[in-house]
Structure 1
Amino acid sequence: MAHDLPGWVAELTDPRRAQTLEELADRLVPLAEHAIDVSRRLQTLLNELNDPFRREALYGRVDRLKSRAAEALDEIAAEIGASGESRIEKIWAEWVERGGGAAEPDTARAQELRRRLESDVVPVLTRQQQEVATQVAARTSTALEEATQTLLTRVEELAKAVTDLIHDVLPLAREGLNLASRISALSSAARKAGRGPVPDEMKEAGAETSRAFDEAVARLELEWAALGARSATVRAALRGAEETAFSHVTTAMTRCVEDLAPDHVKVLNEAEERANSLYDEIGNG
């Protein structure tokens, strides 16, 4: 689909078509403003590109990783604790079903069972929960240290690439500002020259300035678009590095829990068996 502008647009905006000094001065002003605009947009993108690599941003990224790891560890600890509590609830429910405490939960037998559970079963479950939680925490700490180091290494590598990119593009932004200064100076000279037709010397200067503007702004606009895409890629890479680091930690947690699960379940089953033996010792009637 064509997007050509009406012919009169060029007539009113192209300095090369100016017939008078006043027209030349007026038409040069928007060119200077455009050069300044694209230069500022480039500088803004460069600043945005550099922001994630500032020291406070780096600390924030590491702190987020540690915070998320701590939250995940708390969830696992809660699940471990819940497994022991649910087993105690199951034991007590079985006692109630067997008639040991349904009607009179404060009978001597019920009190004796509760005392024996607290002395013979609960401590075993508590120790098991603490041991599992300690081992998961230790594995998590190691994984977190590894993940943090990998994250910092990746951010450092990316920061170096971004720094090189900024050094390459920054002169272009300055070029736009220098061009705007040249255009403004020519516009000012045209106004100071008074009224009347444009002298040949100034007409030639206007034409040369217009060509320089077309070339420079086209290059700057293209660089701005490319830099925007590169900036999005950098942000995505940083998010990916952070998520990968967190995944490394959670994977280590999951594997640790899987490794410890058989022994944990064994202890829970033994605790339940011990509770069952207490039924026989205390009796139901």
Structure 2
Amino acid sequence: MAHDLPGWVAELTDPRRARTLDELADRLVPLAEHSIDVSRRLQALLNELNDPFKKEALHDRVDRLKDRSSEALDEVTAEITASGRERIERIRAGWPERLADGERKRLDGEIVAMVERHRHEAAGRVAEATSAGLGEATQLLLTRVEELAKVVTDLIHDVLPLAREGLTLASRISALSARSRQSGRGPVPDELRDEGAEVAREFDEAVARLELEWAALGARSATVRAALRGAEEAAFSQVTNAMTQCVEDLAPAHVQALNQVETRAQSLLDELT
């Protein structure tokens, strides 16, 4: 649905319709301001697009991956510890009340030591798997970021001259506005009228091109941010997959080790009672 502006808008803003030098000077000023505005917006978007690829941002991304991996490892280690603690409590619950304190301490010391040795071994294997997965995931993440950075760098080099073009045009328009104001208050001379028409035409073409580039760059910037998030999440998933696979491989041995602890505890209890 078209939304055309009232006819008087162009009458009061288009330099080509100026009748006096003051009108020409006044109508050129907003054109220069608009050129500067769209150029600065374009430059700001280019800076925003480049920010995630700076060294500090790259280090932060890798550090986040390491921190998240460490937190996940802590959770798995806590689960291993909790399962061992639950088995110890179950074993203790089956001890007869007539056991002497010394006997309880002996039983407790041996089963706790067995569970702790198994916990240390299992946690160590998970930590090794996590470290290996983290190394591979970090390398893949860095490779993907590097590939994306190359494309973004090429894009910035292509678009940056357009932003400078807008500033150059704004400078020309401002200079013409100043000349018009310095020329007096009479009708617009043919020479200035022609120059005003020419810069107005160039303004229309340049700003349309810059606005379109700004919109396209905004969409590309959003895609790049999503890609970086995706690469980071994929790297973390790679680490957790390695961790999960290790835990699944350990699960039967873990249950068997806790069963052995319980069997040993029962054997010691039989000896004592």
TM-score over 0.5 (shorter chain): yes
- Structure 1: state its 5+ residue gaps: 102-106
1:113 touches 1:282 (CA, 8 Å); kept in 2?
Answer: no
Partner of 2:233: 243
- Cα offset, 1:7, TM superposition: 1.0
Paired letter, 1:239:
R
- Cα offset, 1:111, TM superposition: 3.9
- Larger deviation: 110-119 or 179-188? 110-119
Cα distance in 2 for partners of 1:211, 1:46 equals 26
Paired letter, 2:193:
K
Residue of 154, 157, 179 corresponding to 1:189: 179
1:179 has 2:169 as partner: yes
Paired letter, 1:54:
K
Partner of 1:226: 216
Alignment of 1:137-156 (within 5 A): 137-156=127-146
- Structure 2: state its 5+ residue gaps: none
Partner of 1:22: 22
1:81 has 2:71 as partner: no
Cα distance in 2 for partners of 1:214, 1:190 equals 20
Partner of 2:107: 116
Q: How high is the sequence identity, in percent, across the aligned residues?
A: 72
2:21 touches 2:188 (CA, 8 Å); kept in 1?
Answer: yes
- Cα offset, 1:79, TM superposition: 0.9
Per the normalisation by structure 1, the TM-score is 0.93
Paired letter, 2:228:
L
Paired letter, 2:224:
V
Paired letter, 2:30:
P
Runs of 4+ in 1 over 6 A off after TM superposition: none
- Cα offset, 1:74, TM superposition: 1.0
Partner of 1:57: 57
- Per-residue CA distance 1:126-177 (angstroms, 9 max, x = gap): 1111111111111111111100100000111100000000000000000000
Paired letter, 1:180:
A
Partner of 1:131: 121
Cα distance in 1 for partners of 2:181, 2:108 equals 99
Cα distance in 2 for partners of 1:46, 1:2 equals 32
Cα distance in 1 for partners of 2:145, 2:133 equals 18
RMSD between superposed Cα atoms in Å: 1.1
Partner of 1:274: 264
1:263 has 2:258 as partner: no
Cα distance in 2 for partners of 1:229, 1:269 equals 58
Paired letter, 2:19:
Q
Cα distance in 2 for partners of 1:6, 1:12 equals 11
- Larger deviation: 107-116 or 164-173? 107-116
- Cα offset, 1:118, TM superposition: 1.1
Paired letter, 1:109:
A
- Per-residue CA distance 1:229-253 (angstroms, 9 max, x = gap): 1111111111111111011001100
2:19 touches 2:188 (CA, 8 Å); kept in 1?
Answer: yes
Cα distance in 2 for partners of 1:186, 1:78 equals 73
2:107 touches 2:269 (CA, 8 Å); kept in 1?
Answer: no
Cα distance in 2 for partners of 1:122, 1:186 equals 88
Cα distance in 2 for partners of 1:137, 1:78 equals 12
Cα distance in 1 for partners of 2:199, 2:134 equals 58
- Cα offset, 1:108, TM superposition: 4.6
Partner of 2:69: 69
1:44 has 2:48 as partner: no
- Cα offset, 1:110, TM superposition: 5.0
Paired letter, 2:106:
R
Paired letter, 1:41:
R
Cα distance in 2 for partners of 1:191, 1:68 equals 63
2:80 touches 2:123 (CA, 8 Å); kept in 1?
Answer: yes
Paired letter, 1:150:
L
